[in-house]
Amino acid sequence: MSIEAVDTRARGLRPRAASDTVGRRALLRRLDWLLLAALAGTAAYGLWAIDGITMHDAGGSAVTRQALYAFVGVVVFVGVLFVDPDRYRRLWRPIYFGTLGLMVFVLVAGAATRGSKRWVDVGAFKFQPSEFGKVLFVLVLAGFLAERTRSINSAGTPLAALGYGLVPIVLVFVQPDIGTALVYMSALAAVLFVAGVRWWRLGALAAATAVVALSVLWIMPAAGVNVLNPYQSARLTGFTHPGNDPRGATYNLRQSITAVGAGGLRGRGVLGATQTRLNYLPEHATDFAFASLAEERGFFGASILLLLYLLVVWRALKIVTSARDMFSAIVAGGIAFMFMFQVFVNAAMTMGIAPITGIPLPFVSVGGSSIITNFLAVGILQAIHMRRPGRRRS
């Protein structure tokens, strides 16, 4: 490392263009190998799991298609490694408005699927802007907050960030895709948290969120204003009283808990997992994939996946601390928390301790947009890690 001595006070400071001086091969050597291993492990394990989960479905195993998406994801991952995250910081405005434009486009012209408009057709493929939007959302907010690092303690910055954040959240919410909207909210919270917004402002924000949630789920319906469809609020609140409506909203939940429980320690195998095979467990390839995995592979099988997730989260948090600048730290923190939030809400919902929302299980649930987005997210983490300051081996 060669430091241009400008000033004795400048010791420890580095020239602006320092990162650009490192070659590509040198960069690759700075990869977080543990995170890479966790990524490869999770992706491979997810493919294996989804093969068993979808084996008996009408269309046959989805593993080939899913592997294709994973391959695209790997390509995206490798590509992202060579993009300096600083570019995202500089480009946050175009990214933001581009994403918003896509989301509006989805709302206006997107294909209506299962009562909600989430997909955009691109030739033979459909993609879900809100899924990619998760990562972009973190990049945008991080870009904005990094710009305002100095005024982070003022009231204006968090409020402005909230304003930027709420627009896509509302757009996703009205698709309607409450699950993804929740993920966006978690990302917003994480980003504000890592950026250093004051504790009491975070507390006030949490309280305000709680008030909004309460009024949407309880006070406003009681007053006769229904923001959510009845089925939506039944799904969100159903887990608190599962025995209530065995044939209705909590039917899925009971079947899911049954599937998880029936898996036992070692699992029932692909053939023996009747909850999945005979279709008692609905949406087992997507929203309830965790329950299906738990039924087929048991406590051991589900635990392996959870441990792989934990490894990813741990490495992501590690990268927050080794980040080169504030922007990178915020991005890594946002991605880490968002990832953890998705894992938790999805797995917990299948076990009856979280509301039922349509959140895909990272690297497992069938769906191209989701898996590619996850590769993208981990790719950005790696890109940040590779550009960390410190001893370089070049």
Partner 1 sequence: MASWTGDTPARPGRFLPGDPRVEEPYRLTPQLAFRVAILAFVALGVFAVLFLRLWALQVLSGDKYLAVANDNRVRTLRLEAPRGPVIDSNGHVLVENVPGTRVELWPADLPKNWPAQRRELRALSDVTGIPLREILAQMNRHAGDPLTPIVVQRGLRQDQILYLREHGFQFPGVRLAHSYLRKYPYRALAAQVLGYVGQISPEEYKTLKKRGYQPTDSIGQAGIESTYDTYLRGKDGKAQLTVDSRGRPKGAITPLANYTPGQALRLTIDIGLQRAAEKALVYGIQRAHDASYARADGGAIVALNPNDGAILAMASYPTYQPSIFVGRKDPKKLAPLLDPAVAEADNHPGINRAINAAYPPGSTFKPVTALAAMQEHLVTPYQTLLCSPDYLAYKQTFHNWTDLIYQWIDLKTALAMSCDTYFYELGKRFYLLPPDRGHPLQGWANRFGLGEKTSVDVGPEVPGLIPTPEWRRQAYPASQGFGIVDRTWKPGYSIQMAIGQGQILVTPLQMARLYALIANGGKLVTPHIADDVELTGSGGQPARVLRRFGAQPAQPTGVDPTALSYVQQGLEEATHSAIGTSAGVFGSFPVDIAGKTGSAEKTVRLPGFPNPSPEVQSWWCGYGPYDKPTIVVCALIENGGHGGTSAAPAALKVFEHYFGKTGQLSTHISD
Which residues are at the interface with partner 1 (CB under 8 A)?
6-7, 9-10, 12-16, 89-90, 146-147, 150, 190, 193-194, 196, 247-248, 251, 255, 257-265, 274-275, 278-280, 282, 294-295, 298-299, 302-303, 306, 309-310, 313-314, 317, 320-321, 323-326, 329, 333, 336-337, 340, 343-344, 347-348, 351, 353, 389
Which of residues 215 and 274 has its CB atom nearest to partner 1 in the complex?
274
Long-range contacts of 269-276 (CB under 8 A, 24+ apart): 269/296, 270/52, 270/55, 270/56, 270/296, 273/52, 276/53, 276/56
Question: Dihedrals φ, ψ of 152, to 5°?
Answer: -65, -25
361 and 347 Cβ atoms separated by less than 8 Å? yes
Nearest approach in angstroms of CB 90 to partner 1 is 6
Nearest approach, Cβ of residue 169 and partner 1 (Å): 21
Question: Whole-number minimum distance, CB 251 to partner 1, in Å?
Answer: 6
Alpha-carbon distance of 7 to 10, in angstroms, equals 5
Report the nearest approach of partner 1 to the CB of residue 165 (Å).
19
Q: What is the DSSP string of 177-221?
A: -HHHHHHHHHHHHHHHHHHT--HHHHHHHHHHHHHHHHIIIIIHH
Q: Phi, psi at residue 285, to the nearest 5°?
A: -85, -20
* Cβ atoms of residues 184 and 165 within 8 Å: yes
Residues with Cβ within 8 Å of residue 316, at least 6 apart in sequence? 35, 332, 335, 336, 339, 381
Amino acid at site 312:
V
Our CB check for partner 1 shows the closer of 196 and 221 to be: 196
Of 202, 198, 169, 192, nearest to 330 by C-alpha is 192
**Amino acid found at 137:** F
The residue whose two tokens read 């001893």 is: 391
Residue whose CB is less far from partner 1, 130 or 255: 255
Nearer to partner 1, 104 or 348 (CB): 348
The distance of closest approach from Cβ of residue 310 to partner 1 in the complex, given in angstroms and rounded to an integer, is: 5
> Smallest distance, Å, CB 106 to partner 1?
27
- Closer to partner 1 at the Cβ: 329 or 372? 329
Nearer to partner 1, 7 or 123 (CB): 7
| Alpha-carbon distances, residue 289 vs 30, 51, 144, 183, 301 (angstroms) | 34, 11, 35, 18, 13
Q: How far is the CB of 64 from partner 1 (least distance, A)?
A: 24
Order of strands across the sheet with 125-127? 111-113, 116-122, 125-127
Query: Minimal distance in Å, beta carbon 68 to partner 1?
Result: 29
Question: Rg of the Cα trace of the chain?
Answer: 22
Of residues 326 and 380, the one with the C-beta less far from partner 1: 326
CA dihedral 93, 98, 104, 109 (to 10 degrees): 170
> Do residues 203 and 142 touch, judged by C-beta distance below 8 A?
no
Nearer to partner 1, 12 or 156 (CB): 12
Please, what is the minimum distance in Å from the beta carbon of residue 140 to partner 1? 14
Query: Smallest distance from the beta carbon of 274 to partner 1, in angstroms?
Result: 5
Which CB, 9 or 25, lies closer to partner 1? 9
- Closest to partner 1 by CB, 98 vs 261, is 261
